[in-house]
Amino acid sequence: MTTNIAELARPALAALLTAGALACQGAVGDDDTREGSGGSGDLDPRLAECQSLAPGVDPAGNREAIRSCLVDVGEAVLAPGDYPIDQPIDIPASAVLRGADPAARPVLRLMPGHGGNTMIGFRDNSPADHPARVADIDLDAHGGIDNPDNQAIVMFAADNAVLERADVFTAPGTQPAGRRLPASVYFICDTCRGGEARQVRMFGNFYGAIFRGQNADAANRVAESEIFANQCDPITFAGYGVAEGNWIHDNGWDCANGPIPGGGIYTLTNPAGGVIRGNTIERTCGHGLDLDRAAGMVIEDNLVSEPGHQFGGTAPWCGWAAGALLHGLRDSVVRRNVFSSGGAANRVGPGGYDIYARFGQPAFSDLPLGGDTVVGVIFSEPRDEPAWSSERNVVEDNEFRAACADGEGCLGLGLFASRGTGYAGSEWSAGTTNYLTGNRTFGSYVGSVRCGGNWYAGNSDCPAGATAPCNDDDYQHAAGDFRNDDCSFF
């Protein structure tokens, strides 16, 4: 059975984004002033009080003490301990909520019954030189996010807000039965900028971080963070964002509706673009990068390995995964990355994609071992959406690896480029082709299969062992037609 990739969209994500478009309206104010922030003449004692808050057993009392300090003096400093709260907390413009001791961070725990869809919200714009900030505090949703629409533990819906040095999680066993876990962090506003999650651990949730900026002006960032043990995708580019220097591991065992394997970084129909730079991505259920129709992406200096991870056998549906699926990618740069895949669980056969054969020919007939081929990077074009043709990408100085051990019954193919890549419909020109130079496939049984109309070094001076701009297996492909293969010979 073949399945179109478009049918594999995460259903929970689709609902989340639809609700998010509504929730973002009116969420951001233009007034950066705070109620009670000046003129009373008695703020010194209040400031001292707000810089030494202690935990209490009453959730309403904890929440009100924090809220009033944020509003009155712009700061709430929490001593170590557990702080149950009865409602979400919104951070006013330029206000700071922080732990007193970074080595013994306090923990906020959200109790149910309030009807909200978040725990911490940034909803008031702050100036760039004085952002709102939450730091050195751990955030446990604790099953307390009541509203399943658009839910996230931390909601960024304003300009210039920072979350740093925090654990963002749902404690095991606290989520009510039948209710989906929340996202860790959601940059929900289409136009907001200056949001950042830095040195944050996101775990025990459904999603990690979600971006939805409408273009590069709406730049928000997840950096230097660890994202792990999340049920579905750890980072989702529903719009523009920046993911830089993160360690992303052991995610994606059940995106529901199947279950569908989660990828390390996921897109679905994202024309806004984004930056994926310097991340280590390992042990994902699905593809390391699962980029399904995207444009304007900068993908640089990432290390991606061990896709198709089955979590000790508890998720046997994980697999048929590549280091990267670049499906319908256009106008993007893929540079200095290392992508690898391996093992029989990652054979393309179970995946059901329809990109590995000429129309009317047996499935997988463009691959050297058919459905028993394992691919390091899949560079492909959707057959049902001409608007997402794979064009004008620069792919250079990467490593593409795929391998199978003796006796596994599979064959490793470093790079597969599908039919249609490099064309605009049926038209080819220097302005539609993809440029692949200086890439290395050493360690794969077969270096590459090059269907489509792409440009590989494009000259006859690429013997075995040649260096850039040659790809290391150019000499194995005929110099004519820019070293594309006649895929009919497989």
Q: What is the pLDDT of residues 319-370, one digit of tens each?
A: 999 999 999 999 999 999 999 999 999 999 887 678 999 988 999 999 999 9
Query: What's the whole-number average pLDDT of the chain?
Result: 91
pLDDT attached to residue 11 = 58
What is the mean predicted confidence (pLDDT) over 54-78?
Answer: 98
DSSP SS3 for 64: helix
Tokens of 412: 């490793």
* pLDDT-based confidence at residue 20 (cuts at 50, 70, 90): low
Strands 107-110, 82-85: pairing kind: parallel
Count of other CB atoms within 10 angstroms of residue 390: 28
Class (C level, CATH) for 5-40+102-489 = mainly beta
C-alpha to C-alpha distance for 461 and 451, rounded to whole angstroms: 21
Task: Say if residues 147 and 155 touch (Cβ distance below 8 Å).
Answer: no
Q: What is the pLDDT of residue 10?
A: 65
Listed range (28-32, 230-234, 303-307, 376-380) with the worst mean pLDDT: 28-32
What is the per-residue pLDDT across 410-447, written as a single tens digit (0 to 9) for each?
A: 999 999 999 999 999 889 999 999 999 999 999 999 99
In sequence order, the 6+-apart residues with CB closer than 8 A to the CB of 309 are 250, 283, 284, 285, 318
Amino acid at 244: E
Per-residue pLDDT band for 403 (boundaries 50, 70, 90) equals very high
What tokens appear for 408 in the block? Answer: 């596994």
21 pLDDT exceeds 90? no
Global confidence as pTM: 0.92
SS3 content of the chain, % helix, strand, coil (to 5): 15, 35, 50
Q: What pLDDT score was predicted for residue 108? A: 98
| Mean pLDDT, rounded, for 65-71 | 98
Lookup result for tokens 């590459």: 448
Contact, 248 vs 265, CB < 8 A? yes
Confidence of residue 466 (pLDDT cuts 50, 70, 90): confident
Q: How confident is the model at residue 385 (pLDDT cuts 50, 70, 90)?
A: confident
Query: Cα(320)–Cα(329) distance, rounded to whole angstroms?
Result: 20
pLDDT band at 76 (very low <50, low <70, confident <90, very high): very high
pLDDT value for 48: 93
Phi then psi for residue 218, to 5 deg, are -95, 65
Distance CA 74, CA 52 (A): 14
Tell me whether strands 118-122 and 75-78 are parallel, antiparallel or unpaired: unpaired
pLDDT the model gives residue 468: 72
pLDDT by residue (tens digit) across 108-152? Answer: 999 999 999 999 999 999 999 999 999 999 999 999 999 999 999
5 pLDDT exceeds 50? no
Would the pLDDT of 299 be above 80?
Answer: yes
> Given the DSSP bridges, would you call strands 75-78 and 247-251 parallel, antiparallel or unpaired?
unpaired
Q: Average pLDDT for residues 160-170, to the nearest whole number?
A: 98
| pLDDT at 18 exceeding the cut of 70 | no
Domain ranges of the chain: 5-40+102-489
pLDDT surpasses 60 at 29: no
